[in-house]
Every structure is written in structure tokens, then in C-alpha cells.
Amino acid sequence: MITFEGAAKHYPDGTVAVAGLDLTVETGRTTVFVGPSGSGKTTSLRMINRMVEPTSGTVRIDGDDIRGQDPAVLRRSIGYVIQQAGLFPHRTVLDNIATVPLLLGWRRGRARARAAELMDLVGLEPSQGRRYPHQLSGGQQQRVGVARALAADPPVLLMDEPFSAVDPVVRASLQDELLRLQKELRKTIVFVTHDIDEAVRLGDRIAVFRPGGVLAQYDAPERLLAAPVDDFVESFIGYDRGVRRLSFFPARNLTLDDGGVFEEEDRVERARTAVEATGVPWALVVARDRTPLGWVSARQLAEAPTGVVLGGLDLAPYGHTFNVATDSLRAALDAAVLSPAGRAVGVDEDGCVVGFVSQDDLGAAIWSVSE
């Protein structure tokens, strides 16, 4: 547990970087500090490893005032990942990762063995250990940065905008990787970003900072999106917070319609009867293995000659599907919005159709969870 008690940083020229921060970072969870530039999020992070000394107030790790420890010793027990990785250009990847173990006085062989272990953990090929940083892509460099921070197995990991310098696709994969690592390692992570989407994606708890170094709101991400405390937080989160909040609600509670699902060998009249009975203007056609093929409209069914099989009709594309077991309401809504039938197709792990849900029914489900 990391505790800020009235921690403030004032510079001699009168600038206030952090104006008295009171906040508790929970052990084993990911806490994200997010805010625009000049909001003191990085300064607050750097107080934890004494890269910045507060001008007043205290920072404690597990109850102990960090000023009681030699800064160098303290820092060796805290992982530190910075923007663009900050790898040493004159050292191989393996030796970069081994930096802190070597500082701690490990023998070179043991430090390198540990470094090799970490390369595997963060998804780097063993052959890359002998390369130099400039030979790696930005995403690979950042993986090395994370491996280097984890080398001495510190309980706390500080990450200062680590993924901001890579392209969006690589950033998403690095975020996934971090989530996977964290599931396994359960470190106390403090993560700084200016990207609210990244914060919502990674954080168990999110601290929103406003300019002038003031903490505006500290909450779980779904609470933050549901109930921003003021106009600043609301505008910082962005206009589509309602939709993004749906990421926190699972799609598995949706009621799916499977009465309108037919196989490609079924005859037109069978679907026509069902559609006329329910009044649903679309039917979904699937293959024999239940993978989706496409939509057929009630009008097509009415006009098609009797005896033709559904697979012989001109089907409208089914768009993208959502996974009923693992996806969120947000994915389901997205699938419904993009579907020509206005209906989202839900599939299981094998890609087989479970049923579909209309925008109206989704709306009702969203209303019920938003209460």
C-alpha cells in the first residue's frame, strides 16, 4: 500500500506541481494517474521513488515513510518504466534487463539467467537478447523496458507514460500484455497516462488530476464513467463516456433471440412462416455448423419462390459478431449498430451462433444496468 499524506511540491518560482495530495494506492492493483499536462500526475508518481522530494507532506510504502531509506536502495526495490523505454544504447538487451540485479550485486551469470527468464515473460525471442536497443522496434524496446523494471522482482512498479510513443496498434498489444502480466504477477502498479481510454482499460482505480496539481476524482473506472464529480472530469473523460462505460457490463446477461435463426438447407417457406408469426423483419441464416452466413429480409422471404433453400438467396452481410461469454455490452452495441439488420449476432467460443439481439432490446438492457 502506498499512501500520500498531504504530499505537495512547490517550486521556488511559485509554480505548484502538486497541491497537497491525499491518496491511497492499493497493494496488488493497478492505479492510474490520469490528467492533462501540468496536472502533477508525473510529479506525484516520481515522489514514490524519491525522484522528486515533496516540499511538504509524506509518502509511505506499507506504512513506512520513504524518507527513512537511502534513495538508491529504495529505487532498487521499485520497478521504473519510462516513456520510450530509456534503454542503455551501449548494452545488449540482456544486459539492459540485468541492470538492477547487477546493481544489487548478483553474479553476472545469475543476473543474465534472470534476464532471459524475463524476456520470455514479456514475450521477446531469446535471440533478441544479444541485440542492441537501436535494433529493436519501439514496441519491443518498451517490452524490454518492462522486463528491466521487473528484473529484481520488485513489489511496486511505476510506469510513466510507457506506451505513449508507440503507434495505436502496438500500444493496444502492449496494454493487453500488461493486463496479462498483471493477472499473473499482482504487482502494485502506478501508471501515469494522459489517455483516458488507456486509464479505463488498465486501471482498477483511476485518479483524475486537474491542472494545478489537484486530485479531482479517485474512483473505479465504471464509477468514474457513470458519475464524474464535476464538469472538468466530465469533459476530460469525453462525450462518449456512456458508451465506453458499457465495457464494464458483460454481454452474457442479454436475452438472445434464436427463433429467427435458420440453416442454409432450410426451405424459404419455413422461415417465412416464422417471420410472419413473430413480426421480426429479418432472419439469420447459418451454415450446418452454426457459423453465421448472413441476413435475409422478410421482404425477400415473401418474394422468394416456394421450395428454394435459404442458402440460395442473396444474403446481406452479418457484419461482425460479439462473443456472448467474454464480450461486453459495448461490443454487442457496436455489432448491432454496424449490422444492416440492426441486430447483433452473438456467438460462442467456436464462432457458432447463439442468437441475435436487436438495438431495441440492447437499449432496454443498457437501461437496466445503468440504474
Partner 1 sequence: MDILCAIDTGVLCGVEQWFTDPAQWTGPAGIPVRLAEHAYYSVVALLVATAIAVPLGLLTGHTGVGGFLTTSLANFARALPTIGVLFLIVLLAGIGLVPVLCALVALAVPPILVNTHEGVRGVEPRLRDAALGMGMRGREVLFRLELPVAAPLVLIGMRTAAVQVVATATIAAYVGVGGLGRYIVDGQARQDLSMMLGGSILVVLLAVATTLLFAGLRRVLVAPGLRAEAASAR
* Positions in the binding site for partner 1 (CB under 8 A): 49, 51, 71-77, 80, 82-84, 86-92, 99-100, 103, 132-135, 148, 158
177 membership: H or E segment, kind and range: helix 168-185
Q: Tell the smallest beta-carbon distance from residue 260 to partner 1 (Å).
A: 58
Q: Which is nearer to partner 1, 110 or 180 (CB)?
A: 110
The answer to whether 9 and 43 are in contact (CB under 8 A) is yes
Report the nearest approach of partner 1 to the CB of residue 28 (Å): 22
CB of 159 to partner 1, least distance (A): 11
List the grid coordinates of 52.
Answer: 522528486
Looking at the Cβ atoms of 158 and 324, the one nearer to partner 1 is: 158
Q: Which amino acid is at 156?
A: V
DSSP string covering 322-341, please? EETTT-BHHHHHHHHHH-TT
The rounded distance, in Å, linking the Cα atoms of 166 and 143 is: 12
Q: How far is the CB of 47 from partner 1 (least distance, A)?
A: 12
Spell out the residues 6+ positions from residue 255 whose beta carbon is closer than 8 angstroms to its own.
357, 361, 365
Q: Pick the closer one to partner 1 by CB: 92 or 358.
A: 92
Give the shortest CB-72-to-partner 1 separation in angstroms.
5
- CB nearer partner 1, residue 135 or residue 370: 135
Q: Pick the closer one to partner 1 by CB: 131 or 241.
A: 131
Please choose, from the candidates 148, 207, 146, the residue with its C-alpha nearest in 3D space to the C-alpha of residue 180.
146
242: closest CA among 329, 364, 176? Answer: 329
Q: How far is CA 88 from CA 94, 122, 251, 349, in A?
A: 11, 18, 45, 43
Smaller CB distance to partner 1: residue 81 or 362? 81
Report d(CA 274, CA 272) in Å as an integer. 5
Q: How far is the CB of 195 from partner 1 (least distance, A)?
A: 19
Place of cell 464529480: 229
Nearer to partner 1, 86 or 123 (CB): 86
Q: How far is the CB of 103 from partner 1 (least distance, A)?
A: 6
Quote the least distance from Cβ 88 to partner 1, whole Å.
Answer: 6
In sequence order, what DSSP letters do the residues of 285-323 get, joined into one string?
A: EE-TTS-EEEEEEHHHHHHSPTT-BGGGS-PBP----EE
SS3 category, 27: coil
Q: How crowded is residue 288: how many other Cβ atoms within 10 Å of its Cβ?
A: 9
